[in-house]
Structure 1
C-alpha cells in the first residue's frame, strides 16, 4: 500500500479511537419550540382600514415571536361568518384571539367557547358589550380602540365650523348593533346640534359605499336643502361623495372616519372636508401585543385608547 494511504488510514483510526475513549455523547439537536398561535379576526378586508390593521398586527407578531393567523369576513356586518372562522381555528388549536367584532353582542357565544378552551381574548376596534360579557360569565376582556364618540364629535365640529348656522345635515350610520357606530353618530350629532345645525336624517348604511350612495340619494330627494353629511366610516363618506359629484353638488361638506387612502386623497383635493385617522395599524399592533402579554401572564390595562387624529385639507394631523 502506498505510504500516503497508510498514513491517512492510521490518522482516521486514531481519530475514531480518540472519540470512543473520550466518552463524549453525541450532541443532540435542540427541538424547535412551537410559537404561540394568535388568531386575528377582522370584519372585512374590502375596507382598506382592516388591511392597515393587519399590517400593524403582523409587525407585532414578528417582533414578539408569535405566529399570527389572520381571518376576515367578506362583509363588515357578517358576524355569523366571524363566528364560523373562529370555531374553525379553535378546533385547529390557537392560544389567543384578537377580535374586531361585527356585532357587539352576537359574537359572545364563540367567545365563551374560546374561554372554556383557555384561549386568551383581546377585543379591538368595536367594543364588545361589557354588560353582556358579565352576563355571560366571562372574565373582563381587554379592549384596544379609540375614543369613537370624541372622534365623531371632532369631525362634526369641523363640519359645523365650515358650514355655519342653519345648515341641514345627514348622519350616515354604521350598524346600530355596533357600539363604535353608535358612539360616532352620537358624537357627530352633539357637535352639529351645539352649532345650531339641524340633523334632518340619521340612518344606517352598514359601512357600505353603495348603501351610503342610495341613502344619500333618498334623503336628498326628501330634503333638497341638504348640504352637510357626517359618515361613520370613509367607505360611506365616499358613497355620499360619489352621489354629490355625479349631481354637481360640489359645495356639500362631507366628513368620513378611518383615513383610508381614497378618503385621504379626497380630503387633500378638497372633495371631502375631513376624515378621522384612528390609526388602524396601531390598534392591530397593540391588540397582538396585549395578547402576548396575557399569554405571558402579565398584567394588562382594561382599556387602551389609541389617539385619533383629525385630517383636514392641508393633510396635517390635528391632535
Structure 2
C-alpha cells in the first residue's frame, strides 16, 4: 500500500510538472516593432505610456509576453526604411509606423506587408494607403482642427469687436496630414473675412527654435499680429518665448498635442490653448497591436478619445482630474 501511495504521489508530481511546463509553453511571445519618426518630447511621452502598457499586459496575462522594440528614424526617411528592414529580420508580429513622410515612408510599410506582418499607421493620411492594416488616430486631425476652430468661434462671439490677425506655424511640410491643423483656420478666415485675417505663415518643422525665429520676424514685419496658431506645443513654446522676450502679452498662442509643458504654459498664461488627447492614452495602440497579433482586433480604424481643448477657463479642472 505504501509503495502504491508513493507511486501515485510521483505520478501526481510528474503530472503537475508536465502541466506547469505546458502552461509555460503556452505563453506566446507577441513582438511589436515601433518605427517612430523622431523621438522628440511629445513622442517620448507617448512611448513611455506605450512601455507602461506593455508592462501592465505582461503583469496581468500569463498566456502572453509582449515585447516592444523601438527604432528612432530621427526625421530621416532613408533611416526609417533602413530601420524597418532591420526590424523585419526579427520577424515581429506587428509593426507600428509613425511615418517621417506620408509618401516617402510607404516602402517601409510595403516591405512589412509583403512579409505578412500587419502594420499600424500612427500618422494616418487621407486617403489611407491599403498597405496599412489599421489607421490609429492618436492625432485625429479632423477632430483636432475642429476643436481649435470651435474655440476661435467662441472667442470671436465673446469679443464682437475683435479682429484676429493670425500667423500660422505649420509642422513639417512632408507630413501632409498635419497641415489641416492650420489650414482649418484659413478656411474659417474665408468664412469670416471681416473677423479673421491670415497675415503670415511658415513651417516650424516641429522645432522650438525655428518657431521662435519665425515669431520674432513676424513681430517686426506684422506688429498688428495678435494670434499665433502652432501645429504643436513644442513650436508654441518657441512662439511663447519670442512673445515674452518682446514683452507682447497681447498676442495669443495656440498649440496641439496637450503636452505637460503646454498645459502648464496655459496655466501660467504664456500659452492660450492646447488641443489634443491625453498622451498617456497613446498606450491604447499596444492593445490594438496585441489584438492584431491574436486576430481579435478586426477594425480598420481606431480613435483615441476624448479630444480636449484646454484654455485658462478649464485648465485648473483638467489638471485636477488628470494629475494621477
| Count of residues paired in the alignment | 296
* SS, match of residue 130 in structure 1: coil
* SS, match of residue 29 in structure 2: coil
The answer for the alignment partner of 1:172 in structure 2 is 169
Conserved 8 A contact 1:98-1:288: no
The answer for the alignment partner of 1:234 in structure 2 is 233
Distance 1:149 1:219, change over 3 A: farther
CA apart distance, 1:59: 3.8
CA apart distance, 1:174: 0.8
5+ unaligned residues in a row in structure 2: which ranges? 319-324
Where in structure 2 are the equivalents of 1:127-276 lying within 5 Å? 127-128=124-125, 130=127, 133-134=129-130, 138=131, 140-159=133-152, 161=155, 165-195=162-192, 196-276=195-275
Q: Distance in 2 between matches of 1:275 and 1:100?
A: 22
Q: Which has the larger radius of gyration?
A: 1
Q: Distance in 1 between matches of 2:151 and 2:9?
A: 84
Equivalent of 1:36, from 30, 38, 48?
Answer: 30
The answer for the alignment partner of 1:109 in structure 2 is 107
CA apart distance, 1:92: 2.2
The answer for the alignment partner of 2:322 in structure 1 is none
**TM-score, normalising length from structure 1?**
0.81
Distance 1:23 1:34, change over 3 A: closer
1:46 corresponds to 2:19: no
Conserved 8 A contact 1:44-1:73: yes
Conserved 8 A contact 1:176-1:204: yes
Q: Distance in 1 between matches of 2:259 and 2:11?
A: 66
Conserved 8 A contact 1:232-1:256: yes
Q: Distance in 1 between matches of 2:246 and 2:220?
A: 12
- Which deviations, in whole Å up to 9, do the C-alpha atoms of 1:241-288 show, x marking residues without a partner? 101111111111000101112211110011111101322222x32222
The answer for the alignment partner of 1:285 in structure 2 is 283
The answer for the alignment partner of 1:91 in structure 2 is 89
Conserved 8 A contact 1:172-1:231: yes
CA apart distance, 1:34: 4.4
Distance 1:209 1:106, change over 3 A: same
Distance 1:239 1:23, change over 3 A: closer
